[in-house]
Structure 1
Amino acid sequence: MADNYAPADNYTLSGHHSNGSANLNPGSTNLDALKNNAASAYDAVTKGPVAQNVADQGAKTVDELSNLSASRRTPSTPAATGQPLTHYHSFFSELLSWNNPRASAIAYLSVVAGIFFVRYFDVLRLGFKLTWMVLGATVAAEVAGRTVLNQGLTTQLRPRKYYTVSKQTLDSAIGDVHELVNFFVIEAQRVLFAENVYVSGLVALSAFFAYYLVKIVPYWGLALVSTTLAFLGPLVYKTNKEVIDAQLHRASDVIGAQTAQLKTVAQQNTEKATQLTKQYVGEYTAKAQTLVGKATPASLSGEDHTNGHANGHADNLSTLREADFPPAPRADIKTELAAPIEPVVAVPVTVKSGEQQPLLI
């Protein structure tokens, strides 16, 4: 009996072991399959077309930011006064020209985000809040560490040497700030003294509209509009350069024709006014000469008449003799005193009521 059942037991054990091994092998196979699927998925994500496109765009963005940073150099064309410009002139010109579109887009979005951040967050209070939270955390960690572990936790995080700003970095930063301040100062003077008439006119027009918009638009909205126009204006011109240049050329031709016509009309009117002025001056000169010619003989005759009268009077004086005049007295003139004048005594006069008082003579 035992011999008859032994093979069965062996078969059962072998079958049991074979089933166990069969159950274990599929599990390991599934695990390997999962690993392979994860690896393939990772490769598909990291090495697929989407990831490759993202990597390419990232590399291009880094290159454009490097090009924008390298564009900070002093322009070869000086100002109208002959003095050199700052390297921020070439930097902002490169930034607003959209020659590096990714870098310009990042700058525009950063400025817009900064405007909204300042608008919707109280920066000063936020700074105070972050300060007390950070200092409170460090102080609490230090006190708790000294109380529990007899050693502060903040002390363990303290660097061996405090960070400092090197002189080269500080000099570079101060130089950049100096160049940036001079950029705004020089540009303000160039606009004020109309070095570029179109730019000065555009700034004047912008200030005119801003003067009225500030009454209905808040300051952050005005800053947002100004930033958008400053960044997107050159982009629109660059995108539609041919159409805009054609329209500007046409407008320039029309303005030139109108200006030439105005110059012609003004010249004709000036010539007519000059001719009329000459004509009137000639007429008045002729009249004045005629009046002077008529007045001269009368004055001459009057002078002759006066001379003749004077000569006749002189002849009459010459015909007079000394005997015609009485002799002059030779004795002294004696004055005889008259009788002394007696003083007048005033006589009182009585005036009755109703009678008129006599006048004193």
Structure 2
Amino acid sequence: MSDFPDAPTTAPSANGNSYIQATKENAAAAYQQVSNGPVAQSVKDQSAKTTTELGNLAAARRTPSNPAATGQPLTHYHSFFSELISWNNPRASAIAYSSIVALIFAARYLDVLRYSLKLTWMVLGTTVLAELAGKLVLNNGLATQLRPRRYFVIPRETLDAAIGDVHELVNFFIIEAQRIVFAENVGASAAAFIGSFIAYYLVKIVPFWGLSLIATTALFMVPLLYTSNQELIDAQLNRAGEVITQQTNQFRTVASKHTAEATNITKQYMGDYTAKAQQLLGRRSASPEAARAPAPPSQTPADVRPSVEEQDFPAAPKSDIQPEPVVPDAEEQTPMVAS
């Protein structure tokens, strides 16, 4: 049995109202059946959920309460992108991922610039021909008839809001780059290191659009995998952390032990070398060569004494000086004999 009533077999009336009315009723019944069917209801439910999740994603654009390590407030794009890649709103995240992938493939396989130029000259050619044809035939151009009363303009408030969003987006990338470089979040810095290291080798064999596709997939799928297997991943991470902590403590213990032993050995050698040095210095001071070594000249001035002493002079007389008697010479006492 068909869900639709059979078409009338009798000949239509003069005005055909009965057949037209039956067709309208059949179309209305089919529309009601399709619109109220399970497929349509499922589509409506999914559309409502998608609209709700998109609204939640738009409402997530708020400045985070936790500032950066420097005390500077973050941008509202920090919370927006965090909400986007966390898959808290799976339909919105899936739409964003699909849109980015579609743009990458469109930029790769579609000559967007060429098609844009083609669309431009076709539109301009059509308007020029329509205007000229209208003036020749109707004495009034067709493009003039289609011209709006007021040209479309962008309100200043809309432009200011767009410029503010662009400013926030640029600051988001600048702040995040600095936070990664200065390791504010060690996990994010490590992930960026691994990604840049892999990209350094992939860029030799993979084109730019391929790298963009891989980066986008990794950015969206890694948080999804973590969210889907959070308990298992957290357990493995905790176990790995315990093993690393145990090995670190063991390494510290062994290093401390070896350091103490090295310190004791160093002290022992230093004591031995000091004793040997003191013995060598003692032997050097007791050797004859050291005894015969001239003493260094004294800095005190020498005692200046006279070169003539008291014993060099005769003793002084104790009595008065007596005159000595005059004794004549022998020649005067002996008379000369005449010859």
Percent of aligned pairs sharing the same letter:
62
Aligned to 2:164: 175
Equivalent pair of 2:63/2:73 in contact (CA under 8 Å): yes
The aligned counterpart of 1:76 is 65
**Residue of structure 1 in register with 2:108 after alignment:** 119
Q: Which has the higher helix share?
A: 1
Matching residue within 13, 36, 40 for 2:29: 40
The alignment partner of 1:98 has SS state of: coil
Extract unaligned runs of 5+ from structure 1: 1-20, 311-320, 322-361
Q: Which of residues 122, 126, 129 is equivalent to 1:140?
A: 129
Partner SS state of residue 246, structure 1: helix
SS in 1 for 2:48: helix
Alpha carbons 2:284, 2:290 under 8 Å: kept? no
Query: Do residues 188 (structure 1) and 177 (structure 2) align?
Result: yes
Q: Is contact 2:87–2:224 with CA below 8 Å preserved after alignment?
A: yes
* Cα separation, partners in 2 of 1:43 and 1:249, compared to 1, 3 Å: same
Structure 1 residue 276: Cα displacement = 0.8
Alpha-carbon distance between aligned partners in 1 of 2:140 and 2:174, rounded to the nearest angstrom: 55
Provide closer, same or farther for how the CA distance between residues 171 and 30 of structure 1 changes in structure 2, counting only shifts above 3 A. Answer: closer
Given that 2:66 and 2:73 are in contact with CA atoms closer than 8 Å, whether structure 1 keeps it comes out as yes
- d(CA) in 1 for partners of 2:288 and 2:185? 69
1:37 deviates by: 3.2
Q: Which moved more, 1:249-258 or 1:233-242?
A: 249-258
TM-score, normalised via structure 1 length = 0.75
User: Partner of 1:257: helix, strand, or coil?
Assistant: helix
**Displacement after TM superposition at 1:298 (Å):** 3.2
Question: Is 1:249 equivalent to 2:238 in the alignment?
Answer: yes
Is residue 229 from structure 1 mapped to residue 243 from structure 2 by the alignment?
Answer: no
In 1, the alpha carbon distance for the partners of 2:20 and 2:134 equals 46
Q: Is 1:286–2:305 an aligned residue pair?
A: no
Deviation for aligned residue 1:222 = 0.9
Give 2:202's match in structure 1, choosing from 206, 213, 224: 213
Q: Does 1:55 align with 2:44?
A: yes
Query: Superposition pairs for residues 86-97 of structure 1, below 5 Å?
Result: 86-97=75-86
RMSD across aligned positions (CA): 2.6
| Runs (5+) with no aligned partner, structure 2 | 1-9, 298-307, 309-339
**Closer/same/farther in 2, CA of residues 156 and 267 from structure 1, 3 Å limit:** same
Cα distance, 1:306–1:116 mapped onto 2, change above 3 Å:
closer
- Tell me the CA shift for residue 301 of structure 1: 5.7
C-alpha deviation, 1:22, in angstroms: 10
Amino acid at match of 1:167: R
Aligned length: 289
TM-score when normalising by structure 2: 0.80
Q: Does 2:143 correspond to 1:154?
A: yes
Spell out, residue by residue over 1:85-112, the C-alpha distance to the aligned partner (whole angstroms, 9 max, x if none): 1100000000000111111000000000
How far apart, in 1, do the equivalents of 2:54 and 2:217 lie? 20
CA distance in 1: counterparts of 2:108 and 2:11, whole angstroms: 68
Q: Give 1:296 shift.
A: 2.2
Distance 1:29-1:163 versus aligned 2 partners, 3 A rule: closer
Superposed CA deviations along residues 117-163 of structure 1, whole A, max 9, x for unmatched, are 00011222222112111111111111111111111111111111111
Q: Please state if 1:131 is matched with 2:123.
A: no
Q: What code does the residue aligned with 2:279 have?
A: T
1:159/1:293 CA distance change after superposition, 3 Å: same
Q: Which amino acid aligns with 1:244?
A: I
Aligned to 1:164, which of 133, 153, 159?
Answer: 153
The AA in structure 1 aligned to 2:277 is: A
Q: Once the 2 structures are TM-superposed, how far is the Cα of residue 253 of structure 1 from its aligned partner?
A: 1.1
Q: Which residue of 2 aligns with 1:346?
A: none
CA distance in 2, matches of 1:147, 1:268: 103
Contact 2:77 2:168 in 1 (8 A): yes
Going from structure 1 to structure 2, the CA distance change for 1:299 and 1:166 (only over 3 Å counts) comes to farther
The 2-side partners of 1:89 and 1:171 are apart by: 21
Report the residue type matching 1:172 in the other structure. Answer: A
1:63: Cα distance to partner? 1.1
Q: How far apart, CA to CA, are the structure 2 residues paired with 1:306 and 1:38?
A: 135
